[in-house]
Amino acid sequence: MNVLSKSGATVAAVLLFTSIAIAQPVTKLAGDLDGELIEKIWCSSIFFEHSYAYEEGSEGYNRFDALAFDLDDEIAVTLRRMGWDQDRIDDLWVAFDDASFDLALEGEAAFEPELEACLAAFD
């Protein structure tokens, strides 16, 4: 399943520019990651961003925060096994978190399909 839909293409472009902004080419940032891992990272960012739609501590907040961090735990283990250091992992998260934030700013019509695809894949 390809979670990155048409609005995800916009996100891919945002990721490209975000990567440049942190002085790392996309190929250096995520070039050695497979599509499944990239989808997990993207969905973790989407879930984390969506958690802010709820009051902290509420059922909705806790649900999406837990979804984000459960995926994050899996992702961190995988990236460390691949030899990634914490700085590189942090740079990757900055790029994806910035992109999910930008997508949320585009509005519900852009964000909701990504959220639904992520829920279908990882909830």
**pLDDT per residue over 68-113, tens digit each?**
999 999 999 999 999 999 999 999 999 899 989 999 998 999 899 9
Give the side-chain half-sphere CA count within 13 A for 68: 20
pLDDT (mean) for 45-50: 95
Averaged pLDDT of the chain: 80
- Is the pLDDT at 1 greater than 50, yes or no? no
pLDDT (mean) for 42-71: 95
pTM of the model: 0.76
DSSP state of 54: S
Those residues whose C-beta lies under 8 Å from the C-beta of residue 42, and which sit 6 or more positions away, are: 3, 4, 8, 11, 96, 99, 100, 114, 118
Lowest mean pLDDT among 5-9, 27-31, 96-100: 5-9
The ranges assigned to domains in the chain are: 6-122
